[in-house]
């Protein structure tokens, strides 16, 4: 039995340790948001975060996940509240057919967690392992930048608020 | 009259399928839960041409619980009903291409399924295959008709009793060129898939589920599948139910092929008595499904010394592959775009498609036009060179305009925004200054920089809607129903495959009915729930189907408002209470002025055209011959941008497919086998390969489209490759007349040009 955390909840599987993480997520765990586009680590449609690092779940054996934490597209939103990235992909044209979107969001989430002020080149580097055939990538880059701006605005508002609160307290 | 609600056309409303797509909730075919379903697979030919002598099942293999079907199990006609009846669903006697399906296998375990497929041997007596256009034209082997020609068209324009050669030879300047383009794989990120469930009469336990065959899958054209299934299973239409799952891209690749996959899954389900899932892996998808037609195009032109174009001769050969599929229509659109966006006094355009023993070629965004526009745009650069003129200036001098006549005799009466497209792209890219700067010779030997830049332009158009009298024959329909609370339900067969149909149809319907956007529902296409609106192809969804969506929505809203006074929802409920069903079925009527003659191939080839100018700037590494696209400007006249962000997404996505076709993608075939049927070695552009796009949506409205909209889907695929080639040519100083332009191709082109010069 392999135990690992998926989207914050401990899950168990009796799948063979060499089973692809992708298959375990999609079939027994029913998390079909993670997609298979090529099965050989080229397209990135199956990207998930493993301990915060984006990986191709078609190339990860589920046995490698023992005791670790996996986040899929289903685990990005906080309940009903979408993340800035999810909102931006809806509003700014980042999603068209949607099949690459779960993987793109995972790769972009990993970027924004370490850098909320990426350059366009940083963004293109972060999603270089995720193929999209619909958008030409421009709207995806724009969506990620819009989300980064939203994250920065929220952070600066929060820090201003806490600063203001601090002054009042003083 | 002031509008009752805020208009949404022209605004970037939220994508209605966005939430499901960003949360992983959208259900694609591979995500469908089908309890008790078997996995289906295909036994395919490994030879390109031969005679099937037998199908052998390994007696040492345990066949318990495994279903195997062959051509003999097909209850109706063993054909893929489309245009010609030449393609079988499963090969019976003749093998005509590698990967041709011969038998189908179903099993409850995917691993055993693969073992079972491997335990079936095909006994095929090989015959010499025809593997290229030139092989087919040599006619050593006849594999189709009497001369291997699947279809032929000729357009003749103002020859006045002379031959086109005579008219060309009478000109001051004659230029001849030969251009070639290669296959292209659609490479939607979601492979093809279908789930089929055969329900015999009385078995349909679920409410509303009729008996017959139910197929749900990744597809563009539910009624194409419906037509093919009726024929294959000898069923009445009301027993065939074809539905669309959320579809992960199509680009034409899911236009005609899904008919085959649907019939295969349904046949297995019928014989096995259980639901069957057939989801292709990437390799099988690349091997088995259709590609863009390769083509060889020869052009000879005559013009004046001042650069006025006079006479055009085009000889265009396309490779149709092993079966006809949609080739005649692809060829037709190809030759109808072969004269480019220019005025010609005289023209003869001759196109033919030949059969080869390679997997059938079929629909791919652009549908024949990218091939011929590649040729004419490269040829315009050849003419400019000969005249010593700037290539864009030569184009500007000869553009079609309102009042001008095309090579099919069509007088353009409205919606020609090409001049504005060129102005916008030129200004934003600083084309003329860069073109002059990059034309200066390299620094003296010894101080040579490793990279050189170039900039190039393409000007082009794309006919919106079906070719010629297609829309008149098709009679696309849309139904709009009134629902409780004053909501409208739009029923159409137009599929959203990522381009945003569900969102845009809501915008069009809401504005036409003067109702809020969120009171419009769009029915998910299923042949049992929607009328046949025609296929989701040919840049026709917004212009043609969208126009009747608006019309139907307005008709229902008008009836509600005419029924009394009061708020819309109350009136609607009262009307529904009285009449039970309030619904309208609207049929598309092409503008009366649009007339086409299929026999002479003269008249209005399309109701209107979308126009564009693309400008590409590249940097080529002169040691490795790698090309980096450093800027791309696309200005495209689409009549009206219903949803500007989605339109820009179409332009940029289509353009990147064109850039991929030019610089990265190369399907390698040997003896009819595809050697690179993987994403690892069939390379499509990544985010690092894609240039930053500067996109201009130009709006010269077309009176026949909703709010003036024309087609946007295919246009962007047409101009990217020739614009890139023009830029690369300037950078490396060698001719680029053939696609692709991989580093090794550019190295060869450069070596050849140096040999020629010395």
Helices B715-732, B431-439: inter-axial angle, 10-degree rounding: 30
Summarised one tens digit per residue, pLDDT across range B701-730 is 999 999 999 999 999 999 999 999 999 999
Alpha-carbon gap: B653 to the closest alpha carbon of chain A (Å): 4
Q: Using CA atoms, how far apart are residues B417 and B462, in angstroms rounded to an integer?
A: 12
The structural domain count of chain A equals 2
B23 chain-A contacts, CB cut-off 8 A = 33, 73-74, 76-77, 82, 86
Domain end, chosen from A31, A53, A75, is at A75
Same domain, A49 and A5: yes
- Confidence tier at A169 by pLDDT (50, 70, 90): very low
* Interchain proximity A42–B247, CB inside 8 Å: no
Q: Is residue A169 part of a domain?
A: no
Would you tell me how many other CB atoms lie within 10 Å of the CB of residue B249?
Answer: 26
Domain end, chosen from A75, A108, A129, is at A75
Window from A155-159, B317-321, B655-659 with minimum mean pLDDT: A155-159
Q: Which two tokens stand for residue A6?
A: 């998926």
* Interchain proximity A97–B692, CB inside 8 Å: no
User: Residue A166: pLDDT above 70?
Assistant: no
A39 chain-B contacts, CB cut-off 8 A = 281-282
Q: Which helix (H) or strand (E) holds A145?
A: helix A138-169
Domain end, chosen from A47, A75, A103, is at A75
* Interchain proximity A45–B189, CB inside 8 Å: yes
- What pLDDT, on the 0 to 100 scale, is given for residue B205? 46
- Confidence tier at B1 by pLDDT (50, 70, 90): very low
* Interchain proximity A136–B191, CB inside 8 Å: no
Summarised one tens digit per residue, pLDDT across range B328-387 is 999 999 999 999 999 999 999 999 999 999 999 999 999 999 999 999 999 999 999 999
Same domain, A84 and A66: no
For B687, which of A76, A98, A128 is closest by C-beta distance?
A128
Q: Is residue A87 part of a domain?
A: yes
The pLDDT mean for chain B works out to: 96
Same domain, A1 and A63: yes
* Interchain proximity A96–B653, CB inside 8 Å: yes
Strand pairing of B120-126 and B50-57? antiparallel
Is B28 part of the contact surface with chain A (CB cutoff 8 Å)?
Answer: yes
Nearest to B240 by CA among B410, B486, B76: B76
CA-nearest residue to A106 within chain B is B22
Would you tell me how many other CB atoms lie within 10 Å of the CB of residue B579?
Answer: 12
A123 chain-B contacts, CB cut-off 8 A = 687
* Interchain proximity A133–B684, CB inside 8 Å: yes
* Interchain proximity A38–B649, CB inside 8 Å: no
- What pLDDT, on the 0 to 100 scale, is given for residue B445? 54
Residue A112, domain CATH: 1.10.150.120
Mean pLDDT of B665-676: 98
Residues 230-249 of B with CB under 8 A from A: 246-249
User: Residue B3: pLDDT above 70?
Assistant: no
* Interchain proximity A35–B28, CB inside 8 Å: yes
Window from A161-170, B142-151, B545-554 with minimum mean pLDDT: A161-170
User: Residue A52: pLDDT above 80?
Assistant: yes
Q: Using CA atoms, how far apart are residues B273 and B267, in angstroms rounded to an integer?
A: 10
Is B177 part of the contact surface with chain A (CB cutoff 8 Å)?
Answer: no
Residues 6+ apart with CB under 8 A from B614: B425, B457, B458, B460, B632, B633, B634, B635, B655, B719, B720, B723
Mean pLDDT of B583-602: 92
Q: Using CA atoms, how far apart are residues B585 and B467, in angstroms rounded to an integer?
A: 24
Alpha-carbon gap: B12 to the closest alpha carbon of chain A (Å): 8
**For residues B492 and B533, is the Cβ–Cβ distance under 8 A?**
yes
Summarised one tens digit per residue, pLDDT across range B502-524 is 999 999 999 999 999 999 999 99
Same domain, A69 and A83: no
Please give the residue range of the domain that contains residue A158.
77-164
- Residue percentage of chain B with pLDDT more than 70: 97
Mean pLDDT of B750-757: 77
ipTM above 0.90, yes or no: yes
* Interchain proximity B189–A128, CB inside 8 Å: no
- Confidence tier at B592 by pLDDT (50, 70, 90): confident
Is B26 part of the contact surface with chain A (CB cutoff 8 Å)?
Answer: yes
Of B374 and B755, the one with more pLDDT: B374
Residue-range domains of chain B with CATH: 18-27+476-587 (3.30.365.10), 32-127+192-279 (3.90.1170.50), 295-467+602-757 (3.30.365.10)
Same domain, A159 and A85: yes
* Interchain proximity A131–B500, CB inside 8 Å: no
A72 chain-B contacts, CB cut-off 8 A = 24
Same domain, A103 and A50: no
DSSP code per residue over A54-122: EEETTS-BGGGGTT-EEE-GGGTSBTTBPPHHHHHHHHSS--SS-SSHHHHHHHHHHHHHH-SS--HHH
User: Residue A120: pLDDT above 80?
Assistant: yes
Q: Using CA atoms, how far apart are residues B562 and B511, in angstroms rounded to an integer?
A: 18
User: Residue B202: pLDDT above 60?
Assistant: no
CA-nearest residue to A84 within chain B is B22
Mean pLDDT of B613-619: 98
Q: Which two tokens stand for residue B275?
A: 């639901």
Same domain, A97 and A109: yes
């Amino acid at each position: 039995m392999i135990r690992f955390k998926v989207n914050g909840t401990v899950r168990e599987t009796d799948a063979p340790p060499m089973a692809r993480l992708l298959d375990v997520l999609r079939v027994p765990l029913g998390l079909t948001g993670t997609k298979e586009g090529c099965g050989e680590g080229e397209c990135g449609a199956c990207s998930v975060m493993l301990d915060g690092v984006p990986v191709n779940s078609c190339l990860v054996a589920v046995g490698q996940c023992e005791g670790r934490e996996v986040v899929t597209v289903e685990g990005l939103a906080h309940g009903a509240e979408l993340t800035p990235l999810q909102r931006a992909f809806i509003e700014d044209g980042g999603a068209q057919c949607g099949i690459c979107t779960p993987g793109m969001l995972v790769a972009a989430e990993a970027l924004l967690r370490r850098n909320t002020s990426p350059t366009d080149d940083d963004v293109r580097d972060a999603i270089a392992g995720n193929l999209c055939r619909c958008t030409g990538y421009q709207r995806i880059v724009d969506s990620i930048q819009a989300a980064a701006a939203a994250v920065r605005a929220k952070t600066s508002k929060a820090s201003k608020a806490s600063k203001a609160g601090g002054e009042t307290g003083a | 009259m002031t509008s009752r609600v805020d208009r949404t056309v022209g605004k970037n409303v939220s994508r209605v399928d966005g939430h499901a797509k960003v949360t992983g909730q959208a259900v694609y075919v591979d995500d469908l839960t089908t309890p008790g379903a078997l996995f289906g697979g295909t036994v395919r030919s490994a030879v390109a041409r031969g005679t099937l002598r037998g199908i052998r099942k390994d007696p040492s293999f345990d066949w318990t619980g495994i279903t195997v079907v062959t051509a003999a199990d097909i209850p109706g006609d063993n054909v893929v009903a489309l245009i010609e009846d030449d393609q079988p669903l499963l090969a019976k006697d003749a093998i005509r291409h590698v990967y041709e399906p011969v038998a189908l296998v179903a099993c409850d375990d995917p691993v055993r399924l693969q073992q079972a497929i491997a335990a079936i041997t095909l006994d095929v007596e090989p015959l010499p295959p025809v593997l290229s256009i030139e092989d087919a034209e040599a006619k050593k082997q006849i594999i189709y008709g009497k001369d291997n020609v699947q279809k032929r068209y000729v357009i003749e324009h103002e020859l006045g009793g002379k031959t086109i050669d005579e008219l060309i030879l009478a000109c001051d300047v004659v230029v001849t060129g030969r251009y070639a383009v290669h296959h292209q794989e659609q490479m939607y990120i979601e492979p093809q898939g279908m789930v089929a469930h055969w329900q015999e009469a009385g078995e349909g336990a679920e409410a509303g589920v009729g008996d017959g065959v139910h197929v749900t899958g990744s597809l563009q054209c539910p009624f194409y599948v419906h037509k093919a299934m009726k024929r294959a299973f000898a069923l009445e239409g009301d027993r065939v139910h074809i539905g669309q799952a959320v579809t992960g891209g199509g680009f034409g690749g899911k236009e005609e092929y899904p008919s085959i996959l649907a019939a295969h899954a349904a046949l297995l389900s019928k014989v096995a008595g259980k639901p069957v899932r057939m989801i292709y892996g990437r390799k099988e998808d690349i091997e088995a499904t259709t590609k863009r037609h390769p083509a060889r195009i020869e052009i000879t032109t005559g013009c004046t010394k001042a650069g006025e174009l006079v006479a055009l001769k085009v000889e265009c050969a396309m490779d149709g592959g092993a079966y006809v599929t949609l080739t005649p229509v692809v060829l037709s659109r190809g030759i109808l775009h072969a004269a480019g966006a220019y005025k010609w006094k005289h023209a003869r355009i001759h196109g033919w498609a030949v059969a080869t023993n390679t997997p059938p070629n079929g629909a791919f965004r652009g549908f024949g036009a990218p091939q011929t526009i590649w040729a004419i745009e490269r040829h315009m650069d050849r003419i400019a060179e000969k005249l010593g003129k700037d290539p864009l200036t030569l184009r500007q001098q000869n553009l079609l305009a309102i009042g001008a006549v095309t090579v099919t005799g069509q007088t353009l009466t409205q919606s020609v925004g090409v001049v504005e497209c060129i102005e916008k792209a030129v200004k934003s890219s600083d084309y003329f200054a860069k073109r002059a700067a990059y034309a200066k010779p390299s620094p003296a030997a010894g101080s040579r920089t490793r990279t050189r830049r170039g900039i190039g332009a393409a000007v082009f158009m794309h006919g919106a809607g079906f070719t010629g009298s297609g829309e008149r024959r098709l009679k696309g329909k849309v139904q709009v129903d009134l629902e409780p609370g004053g909501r409208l339900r739009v029923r159409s067969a137009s599929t959203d495959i990522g381009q945003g149909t569900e969102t845009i149809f809501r915008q069009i319907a809401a504005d036409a009915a003067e109702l809020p956007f969120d009171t419009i529902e769009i029915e998910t296409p299923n042949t049992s729930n929607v009328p046949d609106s025609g296929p989701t192809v040919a840049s026709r969804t917004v212009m043609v189907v969208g126009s009747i969506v608006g019309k139907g929505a307005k008709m229902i809203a008008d009836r509600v408002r005419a029924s009394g006074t009061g708020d819309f929802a109350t009136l609607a409920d009262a009307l529904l209470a009285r009449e039970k069903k309030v619904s309208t079925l609207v049929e598309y009527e092409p503008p009366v002025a649009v007339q086409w003659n299929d026999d002479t191939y003269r008249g209005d080839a399309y109701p209107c055209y979308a126009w564009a100018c693309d400008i590409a700037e590249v940097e080529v590494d002169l040691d490795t011959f790698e090309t980096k696209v450093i800027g791309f400007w696309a200005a495209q006249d689409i009549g009206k941008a219903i949803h500007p962000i989605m339109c820009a997404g179409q332009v940029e996505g289509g353009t990147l497919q064109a850039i991929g076709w030019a610089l990265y993608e190369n399907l390698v075939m040997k003896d009819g086998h595809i050697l690179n049927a993987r994403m690892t070695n069939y390379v499509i552009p990544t985010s690092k390969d894609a240039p930053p796009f500067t996109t201009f949506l130009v709006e010269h409205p077309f009176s026949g489209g909703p709010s003036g909209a024309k087609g946007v889907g295919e246009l962007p695929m047409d101009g990217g490759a020739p614009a890139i080639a023009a830029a690369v040519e300037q950078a490396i100083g060698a001719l680029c007349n053939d696609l692709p332009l991989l580093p090794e191709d550019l190295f060869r082109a450069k070596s050849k040009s140096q040999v020629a010069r010395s």
